[in-house]
Amino acid sequence: MPRVYRKQPRLPEYLQQIVTNQFSRVAQNGRCSFIGNVSLGGSISLAELRELYDAVVLSYGAESDQALRIPGEELAGIYAAREFVWWYNGHPDCRNLAPDLKSSDTAVIIGQGNVALDVARILLRPTTELATTDISDHALAALSESSIRKVYLVGRRGAAQAAFTTKELRELLGIKDLSIKIRQADLSKTPADEEELKNNRIKRRIHELLSKAATPAASVCSPGQKELHFVFFRKPDRFLESDCRSGHAAGLRMERTILKEDVDSGKQIAVGTGLFEEMGCGLVLKSVGYKSIPVDGLPFDHHKGIVPNIQGRVLSEASGNAQVEKGLYVCGWLKRGPTGIIATNLYCAEETVASISEDVVTGVVTSRSGLSKPGRQGLLELLDNRNVKIVPFGSWEKIDNEEQRRGSLKNKPREKLTSWQDLLEVATE
């Protein structure tokens, strides 16, 4: 839906509209209630929800970030890619992030997934083109004055193991007047790489695109031209502090890596060689993965960052002696970890729904929840007693319409409301 703040790869405008229409049809169904501006663990507890409903499905994704846990990670100028994405997408929680885009001409993005590529695209794409998208005004203004001219995408493994998809890569490589720099040595393939590419058509196509982009002609830089560097076989070792600006990052120390086969998984993993090199930069964006956040009363596997489950049924613990939590389910990234795209989540949701249906048929979950537990009416009464200002779907549509109206005045798909106060004022007009 339009107010979703992307962590997954962007969709073309026409696909965004299709997804929006599908969500709208569901939300407008009389059997569905959209109750917004309610926080689990704040407005209401999980235990209270389970008392109100026969079945509760949690699908709140992964709202936090993986840490690198290396020295200097607390320095200013280092951000999680999620924060940066929320900043340019207009999320109220990150509207005041104010990343420093002026003090240096170099940005380093740690990670080589789709989010990393999306962030690189925002830093490198001409702002005249960004101005016609739904990017937030505060981000567009800052990017218009940005000094960033070089972006380094750093990954532990090689081009054959790159985690991004062809669509995202093509769009990044297609940016006008951009010089692409890739070490030819990083594109060489071992027999293990050949086997890996042979069995994966998408990775094979990605390697072909990178090889084509690494031609001598593509790497030639003209004055003022922006540069995109793909840096493979490097892992962060520590962040370097500026000599001139105390507490600010000024570079990154990296260890060279090689690939070795992991006995347990059979996959190639990156291991350090003990050889190090340094890279200067003024902005660092960490795109090394998201993680879900536990809530009180929810079993949680802190090692994997997911809720222990079998086909969406929540388990009491991650060990082999776990019992199924009656009437409690998960789907999405909270269920399986922060991987996959919209289509992956569809299959994931179908599996969880099948488990619920089976439990209804077998009597594990009663099929007449309206008679056994308070359900929607009980929830609305509880929230009203706590003076929680809920946002029903009709109010959400007011926000949607207002953003589109404001966008039309600027030849944009929408102009986002970027504060909770503004969102609630429009919703309750």
How many Å apart are CA 419 and CA 396, to the nearest integer? Answer: 15
**What was the pLDDT predicted at 11?**
58
Angle between helices 166-173 and 114-124 (to 10 degrees): 20
How many Å apart are CA 31 and CA 12, to the nearest integer? Answer: 30
**What was the pLDDT predicted at 83?**
95
**What was the pLDDT predicted at 365?**
87
**What was the pLDDT predicted at 169?**
95
Q: How much of the chain, in percent, has pLDDT values that exceed 90?
A: 76
Is the Cβ–Cβ distance between 423 and 92 less than 8 Å? Answer: yes
Could you tell me the residue ranges of all domains in the chain?
Answer: 1-37+389-429, 67-288
CB-hemisphere CA count at 13 Å for 422?
Answer: 12
Q: Which residues of the chain have pLDDT under 50?
A: 1-9, 367-370
Q: Which residues of 180-200 are buried (b: 16+ CB within 10 A; e: fewer)?
A: bbbeeebbeeeeebeebbeee
Positive or negative: CA dihedral 72, 306, 7, 171: positive
pTM of the model: 0.88
67-288, what's its fold?
FAD/NAD(P)-binding domain (3.50.50)
**What was the pLDDT predicted at 296?**
94
Residue 150: closest CA among 41, 269, 281, 259: 281
